[in-house]
Amino acid sequence: MSSKPSIPKGTRDFSTEEMQRREYIFDTIRQVFRLYGYQPIETPALENLSTLLGKYGDEGDKLLFRILNSGDYLSDVSMEELLKRDSGKLSSRICEKGLRYDLTVPFARYVVQHRDEIVFPFKRYQIQPVWRADRPQKGRYREFFQCDVDVIGSDSLLNEYELVRIIDDIFSRLHISIITKINNRKILSGIAEYIGEGSRITDITVAIDKLDKIGIDSVNAELREKGVSIEAINKLQPLLSFKGDSDEKLSKLEELLSLSVTGLKGIAEVRTLFSYLGQAEMKGKVELDLTLARGLNYYTGAIIEVKSTDVSIGSICGGGRYDNLAGVFGMEGVSGVGVSFGADRIYDVLKQLDLFDDTSISSSEVLIVNFGESETSYALSVIELLRKLSIRSELYPDPVKLKKQISYADSKKIPFLIIAGADEIQNNCVTIKNMTSGDQEKVSLNELRSYAEKNFKISR
């Protein structure tokens, strides 16, 4: 009966080592968010399904984890409904809550719900797990952490600029080289208008989003399958094969889309954004990518996606501007823009590139050897002193063999050992062993404080 315990598919335990690395990622991201003036909020893991459903398209609705009502959840369901076995309908009768699917929709809900308390423009960040009932793969989990930054209540393109700047700042601090791809939903609308298929923008963008992956012929085949006319597809071809830098692409676009008000507006927005970015000292590359569409149907302006140049793992950060999201919750005319960092994928990238600095992940700076009852009070006075100096220290809890205590320090990468046995106590000193070099020296209690301040790392 006692089978090994396990955790649900696509979820993970994080070891102490992994957590220290993850916290390094979260800390880096959080520091940068704060540096740019964003403030944290949190929202519940559970949302009402009415908040979540219909915001991510049909596909998204399928991937929502639904939570069974508590108590006698079938009490209101008739036998007739049960016998119909319509699981879609039935689930809406017996589930009224779901796990959040991303942080943007709960944020929109938060903004609408707290509109009277919020000072606009509202700059917030949010670092929390989200859940998707997706089939797991590498870099794809059912529970994963997103780190969102958004500013809501401002139309200014300075916000887009700021987000791209944050992206560059974070990834350069993490030493990940990236390419930030930028597009604009208005340009995509313009293109759809230009080829005479204005109403099919979603089908068109989803298809051309795959250009990189499946090639131009397959994209055209998919468009035809979706019912886009051959004439329109032919008209689209030159746009898909634009060459040159972002400026050149924009100029060519401007000619082609000269009759589309929306398209021209998108071009102007991208131009402005690139002119801001031109003044910044950026580490990573930024480019206009007309094939960047992204699935989410709420983007209305800028679309942003970040990829690692060294590891292929899908996007590690993505986002854009959404004018209508708060409108879904009854608050019109409030525009927002934001991006989301995928902490778990960033972890995978750092891991694969061997970029974690594991030298700083020891639990303690100093281990004090435990010799037994009669030496304990001496050891305790030493550890009190060290901790007062903000030096991470631990006393080995059991008086086991010295060999064992030293190998404990070794395997936990603790850099210093303090040995205080009968000899040291008699001479009012301690023996300090440097675990890296193997050297050891005697230091008197009087000098311990200055020795510690000089040689031991102080924890923040």
Partner RNA sequence: GUGGAUGUAGUUCAGUCGGUUAGAACGUCGGAUUGUGGUUCCGAAGGUCGUGGGUUCGAAUCCCAUCUUCCACCCCA
Which residues here bind RNA, judged by CB under 7 A? 2-3, 6, 8-11, 57, 59-60, 63, 102, 132, 134-141, 144, 146, 206, 210, 213-214, 294-296, 305, 314-318, 340, 342, 344-345, 401-404, 406-407, 409-411, 419, 421-424, 431, 433, 435-438, 440
Q: Which is nearer to RNA, 296 or 326 (CB)?
A: 296
Q: Which is nearer to RNA, 194 or 298 (CB)?
A: 298
The nearest distance, CB 216 to RNA, in angstroms, is 15
Q: CA quadruple 205, 207, 211, 217: dihedral positive or negative?
A: negative
The nearest distance, CB 275 to RNA, in angstroms, is 26
Q: Which is nearer to RNA, 258 or 352 (CB)?
A: 352
Residue carrying structure tokens 């009277």: 116
Residues with Cβ within 8 Å of residue 336, at least 6 apart in sequence: 108, 111, 150, 151, 152, 153, 321, 322, 323, 325, 326
Q: CA quadruple 41, 45, 46, 49: dihedral positive or negative?
A: positive
How many Å apart are CA 151 and CA 306, to the nearest integer? 19
Q: Which is nearer to RNA, 10 or 198 (CB)?
A: 10
The nearest distance, CB 191 to RNA, in angstroms, is 18
Q: Which is nearer to RNA, 67 or 256 (CB)?
A: 67
The nearest distance, CB 248 to RNA, in angstroms, is 27
How many Å apart are CA 200 and CA 223, to the nearest integer? 10
Rounded to the nearest 5 percent, the helix, strand and coil shares of the chain are 45, 20, 35
Reference 422, options 431, 434, 435; nearest CA is: 431
Q: Which is nearer to RNA, 26 or 276 (CB)?
A: 26
How many Å apart are CA 439 and CA 432, to the nearest integer? 8
Q: Is 44 left (phi over 0), alpha (psi -120 to 50) or beta?
A: beta
The nearest distance, CB 133 to RNA, in angstroms, is 7
How many Å apart are CA 41 and CA 126, to the nearest integer? 6
Q: Which is nearer to RNA, 17 or 423 (CB)?
A: 423
Answer for the pair 394, 369: CB distance below 8 angstroms, yes or no: no
Q: Which is nearer to RNA, 156 or 199 (CB)?
A: 199
The nearest distance, CB 193 to RNA, in angstroms, is 22
The nearest distance, CB 312 to RNA, in angstroms, is 8
Q: Which is nearer to RNA, 49 or 304 (CB)?
A: 304
The nearest distance, CB 259 to RNA, in angstroms, is 29
DSSP, collapsed to helix, strand or coil, labels residue 57 as helix
How many Å apart are CA 226 and CA 205, to the nearest integer? 12
The nearest distance, CB 399 to RNA, in angstroms, is 9
The nearest distance, CB 349 to RNA, in angstroms, is 10
Reference 185, options 199, 202, 168, 197; nearest CA is: 202
Measured at the alpha carbon of residue 169, what is the angle toward residues 184 and 161, in degrees to the nearest 5?
A: 30
The nearest distance, CB 71 to RNA, in angstroms, is 26
Q: How far is CA 402 from the centre of its chain?
A: 44
How far the first Cα of the chain sits from its last, in Å, is 48
Q: Which is nearer to RNA, 280 or 400 (CB)?
A: 400
Residue 453: CB atoms within 10 A of its CB come to 12
**Six token digits for residue 405:** 């205590």
Q: Which is nearer to RNA, 135 or 283 (CB)?
A: 135
Q: Which is nearer to RNA, 7 or 119 (CB)?
A: 7
Q: How far is CA 411 from the centre of its chain?
A: 31
How many Å apart are CA 134 and CA 143, to the nearest integer? 10
What are the backbone dihedrals phi and psi of residue 359, each rounded to the nearest 5 degrees, phi first?
-70, -20
What are the backbone dihedrals phi and psi of residue 101, each rounded to the nearest 5 degrees, phi first?
-100, -25
The nearest distance, CB 269 to RNA, in angstroms, is 21
